[in-house]
Amino acid sequence: MTRAIFLDRDGTLIQDVHYLKDPADIKIIKGVSEALRKIKNAGYLMFMHTNQSGIARGYYDWEDVHACNQKMLELYKLNTDFWDGICIAPESPDGEELGYRKPSEKYELEMVQKYNLTPSLCWMIGDKWIDAETGLRSNMNAALVRTGKTIPTETEILASAQKVPICEDLSSFCRSHLF
């Protein structure tokens, strides 16, 4: 049985910088590098799923996002082949079609198919409810971290009702939920 972890980028792996374009503006989050290694060593396939509407809005382009993703790996001292897959969703929320933009579970379902994942053993982790929703829609477990924007009370209520744990950060998720 194959298990995987899907991770949001902004607010989860690195600090949420408004429409991050320049790799020099990346701000790391303490403990993320160790947490990522721990998850990978535990035998999970690693995927990153990030909404980047700045592409559709024309604020930056694909190359900027690739450069930031690359820089993030460097800052965390991870190999360039660290990820088993990356999905960059370029759509704007007011666009016609959702495509890969979270809460669309299109990417997760494709990876379940491609890698024969067992969804009940997989996790989707992010800092916003749309991340949790993406996980739940794909029949995976979902968790939220508090390293992004403040989680609103409505989200805390939703999370509690849907058994989505809220962790301080990725390290804390590893301590409490990684088996």
- Catalytic residue positions, numbered: 8, 10
Smaller CB separation from Mg ion, 8 or 133 = 8
Q: How far is the CB of 20 from Mg ion (least distance, A)?
A: 11
Rounded to the nearest angstrom, the gap between the alpha carbon of residue 160 and the centroid of all alpha carbons in its chain is 20
Q: Which CB atom, from 121 or from 166, has the smaller least distance to Mg ion? A: 166
CB of 43 to Mg ion, least distance (A): 25
- Nearest to Mg ion of 23, 121 (CB atom): 23
Residues binding Mg ion (CB under 5 A): 8, 10-11, 127
Residue with the CB atom nearest Mg ion in the bound state: 11
- CA angle in degrees (0–180, nearest 5) for 67-87-178: 105
Minimum distance of Mg ion from residue 11's CB (angstroms): 4
Integer Cα distance of 70 and 145 in angstroms = 23
For 118, counting Cβ atoms within 10 Å of its Cβ (0-12 exposed, 13-18 middle, 19+ buried), the class is middle
